[in-house]
Structure 1
Amino acid sequence: MAPAPASRLRRESVVRAVAALLRWLQKHPTPAPEPIYLILTLKAAPVRRFEHKLRLPHSPFPSMSLVSDRLPADLPDDIDLLPSSALRSLPAATRRGLVLVDSRLRVPGGGGKAAGAKRGVTVPVDLSDPAWIESAREAARCVELRVEGGTCRAVRVGNGAMPREEAVENVVAAVEAAAACVPRKWRNVRALHVKSPESAALPLYSAPGSSSDQDGDGDREAPKRELAASAEEQGRVKRPK
């Protein structure tokens, strides 16, 4: 088996970009911490659609909420309890966090799926399992890299309230995991950026001979569209201008 290509990411580039982004977020406060995204741009789109779980050292979500009509005896202090009615209209702050949903809940007409799921990142949990909290925390550290077409994708890797070192560790882990699972690995990575929904994209890496301002397919708006799609999937509601 051929050895995996060595990492091409410089940690100091991540530290510099993350620090600048966190400073920007501090100067532009919001009611709830803004998500931080890794923007992955490939040289060539994969032939087949693929999905891959990236495990991060720290949860990228600033909060966790449990939607249930029963109170677990061991509910941790850092998990907020919400009634089942909250699924129909999740609070704004919850849309940026992780929502745990009691697996016994069923919404009429929902086909077993939680209503309002597209407004927040929801994970079903079995409260009868003694290890449900550990399972929930593990789920909170996993994000999905899903490539359906095109050469650009956004992955949530942090939030504006994270300590800088934790955000850096998450970005580095996400980059290495993503580069290891995409076709042709690092040889197919054109550029990497980090950004929040309203900030500029800050560069982390650009392949030799390429420019972060130019895509091979000539589509300079692709990163913005992919970020918008990921933000919609992960429950961010864009603020009116």
Structure 2
Amino acid sequence: MDALQQRNPITAQERLRDQVAHALRAALIAGELRPGTVYSAPGLAADFGVSATPVREAMLDLAREGLVEPVRNKGFRITEVSERDLDQYTEIRALIEVPMAGRVAGTATREQLEELRPVAQEIVDAARKHDLIGYLEADRRFHLGLLGLTGNHRLVDVVGDLRKRSRLYGLNRLDERDELLPSAEEHLELLDLMLDGDAEGAEACMARHLGHVRSLWARARDEPVEPRPRLRLGAPATAR
């Protein structure tokens, strides 16, 4: 633990909890923590080289996000998402985000749309750098930021909740085949269509993008999973 603190100075228990939570999210994305499996806080703490307390606190944070669920006297189970669930979540998102893309194209100012360009570029840059956590975080900010331009914050809340529930596994395998980059670049394409005031084109692009993402995830889930490597705190959240 002393060596860990020397490499990553921790000034408060809350910071350590956040660091563990970040590492757990990365492990979920990379497939190191498997859906349906129960993990104990002491077991994960041993992997991380920390005490069980910050791990329990971090897992409770993830439970509030719907990523795990407490199992009495055992630990936390990684929540499972079925193919049917994913189809239904994607359908709901399409019902909301496709027409809203057209609306935003016709109502948002050029300045409002241009404010999203750095975020869209972040998505592309993260895909090129194989930064999976950065990719998902920038993707979340772009999609929710776009919906925010409608002025309907309930829509933002609904899609934000759907994104949490439909988080998907196997992202590292897509990254290894460089299949994330084309999906990432669709955000820039969508933004350009909106800036041109092409509502119909924006709707078609959003529909294609959501369908593209869903098909990529389906392929990733069908592939065999490698044995879970030893988790470690402070490891970069990248696939390579």
TM-score normalised according to structure 1 size: 0.27
Larger RCO, structures 1/2 (Cα 8 Å, 6+ apart): 1
TM-score normalised according to structure 2 size: 0.27
Which structure has the highest helix share of the two?
A: 2
Which structure has the highest strand share of the two?
A: 1
